[in-house]
Amino acid sequence: MKHVSMALAVAGALLWCPQAALAQEDYDAGSVDNYALSLGAGLVDPEGSTEPYYAAALRIRLGDRDRNREDLRNEGIHGFLEPEVGYWTRDAGNTDLLVGVNLIGVVPFRRVDYTFGVGGGLHFLDFTRQEGTLIIEEGDEAVGVNAQFGIDIHMTESTALFGVGRVDLVEGDVHELQNKVYLGARFFF
């Protein structure tokens, strides 16, 4: 039931965001977005279960940092380096802490940016398993890669709401595929 309410909240936010962005008459198309802090929450689907997912990232513009949004719209795609941290846990005591870095491409429009990217990172995995009556706790590290796409809806000069869809492939004894969908806020500075 908690996942149904989360899905309804996500759907409501997606329906509300475009109207709110279009209502912003005072948005400054000349602003420069060299850095951004992103905080998000959503769902991850590892091995057939659905769990809450939390993420934080810092975007750093690559290239000329003196250009404004109007210049960038005329040029097309521009790039960002994005160090990130992600976390999810299962009720059974399994956790995954991701520390990674992404290369993000952004296609800017007046109030909406479309994003796509790839990245890699290190997953710090903790899990429990049962052997007879013993519960054994173990930890491991694994390398992972990802591909992602998303949308940013600028609410003001310094804030945007975003949504990301992403697939992570994590190496291990059996490669694990993690599908992630999350929403959040991005703060530009």
Q: What is the pLDDT of residues 21-77, one digit of tens each?
A: 444 444 454 455 789 999 999 999 987 789 999 999 999 999 876 666 566 666 778
Q: Which of 182, 185, 115, 121 is nearest to 149 (CA)?
A: 115
Q: What is the DSSP letter of 24?
A: -
Which pLDDT belongs to residue 21?
44
Contact 50, 6 (CB under 8 A): no
Question: What torsion, rounded to 10 degrees, do the Cα atoms 116, 90, 128, 132 define?
Answer: -140
What's the pLDDT tens digit per position in 113-126?
999 999 999 999 88
Q: What is the DSSP string of 88-102?
A: EE-TTS-EEEEEEEE
Distance, in Å, from the CA atom of 106 to the CA atom of 115, rounded to the nearest integer, reads 5
Q: Are strands 134-154 and 112-131 parallel, antiparallel or unpaired?
A: antiparallel
Q: Which of 133, 185, 132, 187 is nearest to 13 (CA)?
A: 185
Reading the block at residue 154, the tokens are 């600028």
Structural domains in the chain? 2-188 (2.40.160.20)
Contact 111, 153 (CB under 8 A): yes
**Whole-model pTM?**
0.79
- Residue 128 binned pLDDT confidence (cut-offs 50, 70, 90): confident
Q: Is 48 left (phi over 0), alpha (psi -120 to 50) or beta?
A: left
Contact 189, 162 (CB under 8 A): no
Choose from 5-9, 63-67, 138-142 the range with maximum mean pLDDT: 138-142
Distance, in Å, from the CA atom of 22 to the CA atom of 29, rounded to the nearest integer, reads 13
Reading the block at residue 82, the tokens are 């994005």
